[in-house]
Chain A
Amino acid sequence: MKNHQEKIRNSLKKRHARERRFRLYGLLSVSVSILFLLLLLTDIVSKGLPAFTETRIKLDITLDPQQLGLGDHPDRDALFHANYSRLITETLKKMFPDAKTRKQRRDLKQLVSKSAAYDLRDAVLANPSLLGTTQSFWFLAKDDVDQYMKGRIDRTLPESQRRLKDYQLAWIDRLLAENRLEKRFNKTFFTASDSREPEQAGIRGAFVGSVLTLLVTLALSFPIGVLAAIYLEEFAPQNNRWVDLIEVNINNLAAVPSIVFGLLGLAVFIGFFGVPRSAPLAGGLVLTLMTLPTIIITSRAVIKAVPQSIREAALALGASKTQVAFGHVLPLALPGILTGTIIGMAQALGETAPLLLIGMVAFVADVPHGIFDPSTALPVQIFLWADSPERAFVERTSAAIIVLLTFLIAMNGLAVFMRKKYEKKW
């Protein structure tokens, strides 16, 4: 008897230890998952934050009309086509006469971005009286200078292993000593579109493309989704083959890989219907088909939750079935439906793969003006930049991800807020 008790006491210790271990595994799993999330976010934020500043270089430029190749009374066209980049090069040469070899002179030009010439041109076009005077301009610095200013280029490395050579570092040191280098808030990132030069690249074009694509998606998927959900909940006959087929299809479409929708868009919308390639219209159509199942499924759940008594009361007062559905059920279900729609839109905003297949992956340096213009989208821009080898693009990719995540958080936050505010317990 005592032997048995001994045995049980011993095994109990083991069993309790096992219990604690099991519990620990659970806690560890949750922590590891959350840790991954934090790791991902901190990695991206730490990589992306520097992209929100840019480096500018101050140059004192004498706008000599002769050097620009201009006559006495240049017209607008002449001002537009004058050689501004030579003026900047000459100014730099005068500042740094030690640049002797051909390579050094080329590197000297590389201190400021190519956009400097356009900035100068725009300044002269806006105010031609500047000609003949000497002005200070803060030009955008080239990405290598910018990376050095952000501490991404280690000057203790041997010269052959760095992007900037000793003489280039000496120039930067001199510019720093003369207070000609400054880090500012990176407005270019928000006002410019894609560019081959990292320091000139921004997300405006991609952002507008995303907005246009989402507008098409919303304009199509919301009405279609709501009408479909109302039909399936309020009107659809029971045990009807067609209705059963619709339900099976909606459930299956919700789990079809997104890239298959891209194939559909390529073959049907672009190949068959002739929708322009790379256009937000094509993207919106594909994303509509992808978000419809989400919107229909959530809307149906909300419509189902509206109590039967409300329908019966309206019917008793002589309302038709359509009047009940659109005048009584829909208004009560609308907040929930909107919540589901916002979540669907957030999914659509982050979707990339189908857009690659319908050609929204092209290099587009213009801001799209309408839903028929070639454009890209924010996640696609992230994909494109992630492929670029320049260090400065890594930074910009992360910054674009931060912008994208901010929008997703805002949209999901809005959905949660609406759910809390309008949630009804019948």
Chain B
Amino acid sequence: MDTLPLVLTVGLLALAGFFAGKHKARLASTQVRSHSRPHYHGYLVALWTLIPALLVVMVWSFASESVITRLVVAELPARIQQMPASEKSLFTNEFKNLANEIDVKKHIPTEAIKSSDSTAVAYQAAQRYIQLTRLSQQLKAAVTLSLAALLIWFTLHRVQPQLKARNSVETIIKGLMIVSASIAILTTVGIVFSVLFEALAFFRHVPPGEFLFGTHWSPQTAIRADQVGGSGSFGAIPLLTGTLLISAIALVVAVPLGLFSAIYLAEYASPGIRTVAKPVMEVLAGIPTVVYGFFAALTVAPFIRETAESFGISASSESALAAGLVMGIMIIPFVSSLSDDVISAVPAILRDGSYALGATKSETIRKVVIPAALPGIVGGVLLAASRAIGETMIVVMAAGLAAKLTLNPLDSVTTITTQIVTLLTGDQAFDSPKTLAAFALGLGLFVVTLTLNILSLHVVRKYREQYE
């Protein structure tokens, strides 16, 4: 039985348990007054069936593949057992792919069996793998369903008028709620550990000093040890300058436009214009970034190149300017909506005071409102900067791949996020320095954006305390 039907069957069993428990409790409560109402007994039976059975399915599904692989590998001929670990894992992948091909596409590569010795071994291993996988699936279904049946029987047995079913159900629900809320912490822990461990593994290959201060980035490492010319160098400085260049262009576009829009919408616009213009500007933040990337790569970049060429300046077709410009458009709403909020929150008394002294509206805004709202605006800009640094699709599609150390916006630069995607989307061995470098970059990205976020939250919060 496949996993999905199995889960559905368990669900149906739990449902049956619910009705059975409810029914039994109702019958029992005709003679004696029951502590809990019948449906709580039903819920108790259902939850006691569902949760353990689903846990078994989950643990089994996650553990089975590695266990089966280990079993199959253990049965391989000694010749393959003695191979170095990397070749062994290659062979493991080979027979797994073969198994997948046979199992899913119902395609038996007959020529493979007759051909070279190692393919024949792989074919046998694949057959064994499929056999064990099927066995595991059957066992999983049998164990889960019998466990579920046993639990239903047991919990139904316990249904009695004096059983405090409601309290038990509420305790279980509270437990579920705490687990759900704690997933946020688990996610952060997961992020930190996954990038940290891989990054530490990377720093065993490449010293942190070289990574942080090296000015040459070319992650092409040799696939075989005897290959020449591909030792790979991992100096992150060009990526950092590229990221900062594109983000700076984006902020140069977004901050004035966003800030002036916020000022206009908060201070000048009539309610009619405001109700239309505000959501329309928010749409800019809702458009998927892949759409911006397409726009940047196919419309803006060629336009910039042609314009520059008509002035006799040479421009790359993957210029930093195109990516930065489009990214700037994307983050306008981040600047404008946060600034709008803080500008609106500036107390009217301050404005009235300024008007009473004879200041014009723009003078009031420039000399009184903006200084008062400045921390909030800075917070918004920091948040927008964090967005720009972490933005991926626009730069993957519109920025280049060559790591150049330049500040020329018409040249092509590469960014941290672009490199993470390029390093991880090819077929790579999982523990090569090239793959691990992506996690080291990810760690840097996470630390930088987290710092910016905390800083911006701190600045905004501190400001709010002054007026509320």
Contact = CB atoms under 8 A, between A and B. Distances in A.
A408 B264 CA distance: 28
Contacts of B213: none
A123 interface: no
A4 to B, nearest CB: 14
A199 to B, nearest CB: 20
Interface string A240-251: 001101100111
Contact of B257 (A29, A326, A401): A29
B442 A260 contact: yes
Contacts of B299: 43
Report whether over half of chain A's contact residues are helix, strand or loop; otherwise say mixed.
Answer: helix
A316 interface: no
A26 B261 contact: yes
B74 interface: no
A257 B289 contact: no
Contacts of B295: 40, 43-44
Contacts of A255: 383, 386-387, 449, 453
B180 A350 contact: no
Interface in B379-401: 383, 386-387, 389-393, 396-397
A263 B288 contact: no
Contacts of A259: 390, 392, 417, 420-421, 442, 445
A131 B218 CA distance: 61
B268 A26 contact: yes
Instruction: Give the interface size bracket for A toward B.
Output: 35 or more
B281 A264 contact: no
Contacts of A370: 4
B329 A36 contact: yes
A227 B177 contact: yes
B62 A274 contact: yes
A401 to B, nearest CB: 5
A259 B438 CA distance: 11
B135 interface: no
A179 interface: no
A419 to B, nearest CB: 12
Interface residues of B, number: 92
A405 to B, nearest CB: 7
Contacts of B185: 245-246, 249
A383 B393 CA distance: 8
B142 interface: no
A334 B190 CA distance: 30
Interface stretch (B110-118, B359-367, B402-410): B359-367
A263 B191 contact: yes
Nearest to B450: A252
Interface in B58-95: 62, 65-66
Contacts of B463: none
B375 interface: no
Contacts of B125: none
Contact of B177 (A228, A253, A361): A228
Given A260-B390, A383-B397, A292 B290 contact: no
Contacts of A22: 362, 365-366
Interface in A208-243: 223-225, 227-228, 230-232, 235-236, 242-243
A266 interface: yes
Contacts of A271: 194, 430
B260 A16 contact: no
Contacts of A408: 286-288
Nearest to A26: B264
A264 B336 CA distance: 31
Interface stretch (A75-83, A110-118, A351-359): A351-359
Interface stretch (B166-174, B315-323, B345-353): B166-174
A256 B177 contact: no
A352 B420 contact: no
A19 interface: yes
A209 to B, nearest CB: 15
Contacts of B445: 257, 259-260
A275 B58 CA distance: 11
A359 B194 CA distance: 17
Interface string A359-374: 0010000000011100
B366 to A, nearest CB: 8
Contact of B291 (A293, A371, A382): A382
Given A259-B420, A322-B169, 7 more contacts: A37-B281, A231-B181, A255-B453, A292-B187, A347-B286, A357-B420, A394-B298
Interface of B: 3-4, 62, 65-66, 166, 169-170, 173-174, 176-178, 180-185, 187-188, 190-191, 194-195, 197-198, 256-261, 263-265, 267-269, 277, 280-281, 283-284, 286-295, 297-299, 329, 332, 336, 360-363, 365-366, 383, 386-387, 389-393, 396-397, 417, 420-421, 424-425, 430, 438-439, 442, 445-446, 449-450, 453-454, 457
Please give me the 4 A-B residue pairs with the lowest Cβ-Cβ distance, nearest first.
A257-B390, A26-B264, A350-B288, A267-B194
Interface of A: 15-16, 18-19, 22-23, 25-30, 32-34, 36-37, 40, 43-44, 47, 223-225, 227-228, 230-232, 235-236, 242-243, 245-246, 249-253, 255-261, 263-264, 266-268, 271, 273-275, 289, 292-293, 296, 320-322, 326, 346-347, 349-353, 356-357, 361, 370-372, 379-380, 382-383, 386-387, 394, 397-398, 401, 404-405, 408, 412
